[in-house]
């Protein structure tokens, strides 16, 4: 993500460690933190739920009751109100500063969006949407990346209607994060949940049959749902279509198989359930920004 020119035109660099530039609107505040020298055990806390997203550089995060982990560009973290973050900056330099976005969102706004989702976006088996898991660490997908980029622009823009613009973007951001969180819960706990949750059962079925032909017709039949209802519920809950989910799981398998330099790509794509080599190449490159052959060669070189 790139900070807009208007940010650099208006910000003042007063501190070398976690210099803070803030923009406050009705339902959210956006803070951009910049660190220009190495530092350790820097403490940070917000009184509202926060989406933290790395823009540039590397942090090491230490959170209560969690193992330490690297926080890198393209990744985000959801934190509850009043969570104390302890942060190391092992690589920050004046010529290569660490930059991070922190979006503090009013709890009432989040609750209102959850209510709207329960009224308009049905879940399987009569379940309801609820607040997201906090301390949820994830990689931004294309949709979340584009929203965050747009929010960076909107917060720094001098426009009389920007509160309205931002409010609409926040609603979409919350929906997408909840779907991403739901997807992680299902994929992490599919086997455990599969006995009494239809989507969890289908996700486990997909994983167990990746090498076979999988269609929406087959999966909807397994879920005892009509095709149209199955497709709608699946996409509403996980934020992507059944076909996109299947391809994501197949590419994950392909990535693991390509770690072996002796494996032939012509065998790998069939093992992963792709019927066409060209389609496999296209999907793999779209998801990984590199061809399967180039990826395998890169792994082999170390």
| pLDDT value of position 206 | 94
pLDDT digits (tens, 9 = 90+) for 189-225: 776 777 778 888 999 999 999 999 999 999 999 999 9
| pLDDT value of position 268 | 94
H-run or E-run covering 77: strand 75-79
For 2-21, give the DSSP string: ---HHHHHH-----SSSEEE
197 or 228, which is more confident?
228
| pLDDT value of position 154 | 95
| pLDDT value of position 189 | 78
Contact (Cβ atoms closer than 8 angstroms) between residue 162 and residue 155: yes
H-run or E-run covering 22: strand 19-24
Q: Average pLDDT of 263-284?
A: 92
Quickly state the pLDDT bin for 23 (edges 50, 70, 90). very high
| pLDDT value of position 6 | 83
Question: Is pLDDT of 51 > 80?
Answer: yes
**CATH classification for the domain delimited by 1-189, as one of 2.60.120.280, 1.10.3720.10, 3.40.50.740, 3.50.50.60:** 2.60.120.280
pLDDT digits (tens, 9 = 90+) for 80-112: 999 999 999 999 999 999 999 999 999 999 999
Model pTM? Answer: 0.83
Q: Where in the chain is the domain with CATH 2.60.120.280?
A: 1-189
DSSP-derived 3-state class of residue 191? helix
| Lowest model confidence (mean pLDDT) among 25-34, 190-199, 213-222, 239-248 | 190-199
Q: Average pLDDT of 262-267?
A: 90
CATH superfamily of 198-301: Homeodomain-like (1.10.10.60)
| pLDDT value of position 9 | 81
Q: Average pLDDT of 64-79?
A: 90
* Alpha helix ranges (H) inside the chain: 5-10, 107-120, 142-156, 162-193, 198-208, 216-222, 227-238, 242-257, 265-271, 277-288, 292-301
Q: Average pLDDT of 31-48?
A: 95
Q: Average pLDDT of 171-188?
A: 90
Question: Is pLDDT of 182 > 90?
Answer: no
- Supply the mean pLDDT for the chain: 91
Report percent pLDDT > 70 for the chain: 99
Q: Where in the chain is the domain with CATH 1.10.10.60?
A: 198-301
Q: What is the rounded CA–CA span in Å between residue 92 and residue 79? A: 23
User: Which DSSP symbol is given to 26?
Assistant: S
């Amino acid at each position: 993500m790139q900070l807009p020119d208007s940010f650099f035109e208006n910000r003042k660099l007063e501190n070398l460690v976690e210099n803070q530039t803030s923009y406050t609107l009705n339902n959210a505040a956006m803070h951009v933190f910049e660190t220009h020298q190495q530092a350790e055990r820097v403490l940070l806390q917000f009184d509202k739920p926060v989406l933290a997203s790395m823009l540039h550089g590397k942090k090491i995060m230490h959170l209560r009751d969690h193992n330490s982990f690297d926080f890198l560009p393209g990744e985000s973290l959801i934190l509850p109100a009043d969570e104390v973050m302890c942060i190391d900056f092992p690589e920050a330099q004046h010529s290569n500063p660490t930059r991070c976005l922190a979006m503090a969102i009013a709890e009432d706004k989040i609750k209102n969006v959850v209510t709207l989702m329960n009224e308009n976006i049905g879940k399987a088996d009569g379940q309801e949407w609820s607040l997201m898991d906090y301390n949820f660490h994830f990689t931004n997908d294309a949709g979340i990346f584009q929203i965050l980029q747009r929010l960076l622009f909107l917060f720094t823009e001098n426009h009389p209607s920007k509160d309205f613009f931002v409010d609409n973007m926040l609603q979409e951001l919350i929906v997408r994060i909840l779907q991403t969180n739901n997807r992680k819960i299902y994929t992490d706990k599919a086997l455990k949940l599969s006995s009494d949750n239809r989507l969890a059962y289908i996700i486990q079925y997909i994983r167990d049959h990746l090498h076979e032909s999988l269609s929406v017709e087959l999966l909807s039949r397994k879920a005892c749902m009509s095709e149209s209802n199955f497709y709608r519920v699946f996409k509403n809950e996980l934020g992507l279509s059944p076909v996109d989910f299947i391809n994501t799981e197949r590419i994950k398998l392909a990535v693991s198989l390509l770690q072996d330099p002796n494996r032939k790509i012509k065998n790998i794509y069939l093992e992963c359930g792709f019927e066409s080599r060209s389609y496999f190449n296209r999907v793999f490159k779209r998801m990984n920004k590199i061809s399967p052959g180039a990826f395998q060669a890169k792994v082999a070189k170390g």
